[in-house]
């Protein structure tokens, strides 16, 4: 059975470590800083086997060169990645194996144009599906649109939302409590969000990550997956002072803009 542990980096980044407890082989997702990765590998007696990269931002690739040089290992990234160092280029829906585990690539442009996610369905190595989604989907929120359009990001999130609802979500940042504050501005009467917020507050008070989340939870509390809901639609119209019906893309664009200024 494979296991996952978070490696804390910078102020609020999670570098995810996927490892086999028997072979001690590990895959690192988005190594923004090599130092905590090296310290974690040593402390846990793990052998670095590969790197997975979701996109080109420095807090996701800052440790790439050092780790690649130190271990001479494969680096999995998008075929059109906006950074150097990828040894195994990946395209949309491409499948591959690592750590004796099956993986599928999802292109999810929006935050950046070269953003991909790594999906691993339920299998012998782990019974619950996993998604390592970088800065595309957060618990209670989604990434800023630095390069893509609202329509691209909503399409990417819609694609993620089509995965099994028990899929565990592993974003790269501890943004949950701030995201939930905004989510409650959008839907102040959402009891699921209020309950989830208290759970997350309790975890943070105990110095525990709020992650992973899962798609079943996110579908109930994340406004960026709820563009079809009347309450979210109404907030979107109010935020742009409109009385006209909005398309799903317009709803998403409106709430993303509101979040940018929250």
Q: Give the chain's largest Cα–Cα span.
A: 60
Express as a percent the part of the chain with pLDDT over 90: 98
Mean pLDDT calculated for residue range 154-166: 98
pLDDT digits (tens, 9 = 90+) for 184-223: 999 999 999 999 999 999 999 999 999 999 999 999 999 9
Q: Contact, 143 vs 246, CB < 8 A? A: no
pLDDT for 118 equals 98
| Count of helices and strands (H, E) across the chain | 9, 14
pLDDT for 1 equals 87
Distance CA 61, CA 34 (A): 9
For the question of whether the overall pTM of this predicted structure is more than 0.95, the answer is yes
pLDDT for 73 equals 94
pLDDT digits (tens, 9 = 90+) for 111-159: 999 999 999 999 999 999 999 999 999 999 999 999 999 999 999 999 9
**75 strand-pairing partners:** 51
Query: Mean pLDDT in the chain?
Result: 97
Which structural domains are found in the chain, ordered by start? 2-260 (3.60.15.10)
């Amino acid at each position: 059975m494979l296991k996952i542990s978070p490696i804390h980096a910078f102020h609020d980044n999670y570098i995810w470590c996927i490892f086999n407890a028997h072979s001690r082989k590990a895959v690192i997702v988005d190594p923004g800083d090599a130092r905590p990765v090296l310290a974690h590998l040593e402390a846990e007696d793990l052998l670095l086997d590969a790197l997975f990269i979701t996109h080109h931002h420095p807090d996701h690739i800052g440790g790439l060169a050092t780790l690649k040089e130190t271990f001479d290992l494969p680096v999995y990234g998008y075929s059109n990645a906006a950074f150097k160092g990828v040894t195994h280029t990946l395209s949309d829906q491409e499948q591959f194996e690592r750590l004796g585990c099956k993986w599928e690539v999802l292109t999810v442009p929006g935050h950046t144009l070269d953003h991909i996610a790594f999906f691993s369905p339920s299998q012998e190595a782990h019974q619950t599906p996993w998604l390592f989604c970088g800065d595309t989907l957060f618990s209670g929120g989604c990434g800023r649109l630095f390069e893509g359009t609202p329509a691209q990001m909503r399409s990417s999130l819609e694609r993620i939302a089509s995965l099994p609802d028990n899929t565990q979500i592993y974003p790269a940042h501890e943004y949950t409590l701030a995201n939930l504050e905004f989510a409650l501005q959008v839907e102040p009467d959402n009891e699921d969000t209020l309950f989830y917020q208290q759970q997350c507050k309790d975890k943070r008070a105990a110095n525990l990550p709020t992650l992973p989340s899962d798609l079943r939870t996110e579908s109930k509390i994340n406004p960026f997956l709820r563009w079809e809901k009347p309450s979210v639609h109404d907030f979107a119209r109010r935020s742009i002072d409109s009385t006209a019906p909005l398309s799903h893309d317009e709803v998403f664009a409106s709430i993303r803009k509101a979040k940018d200024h929250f």
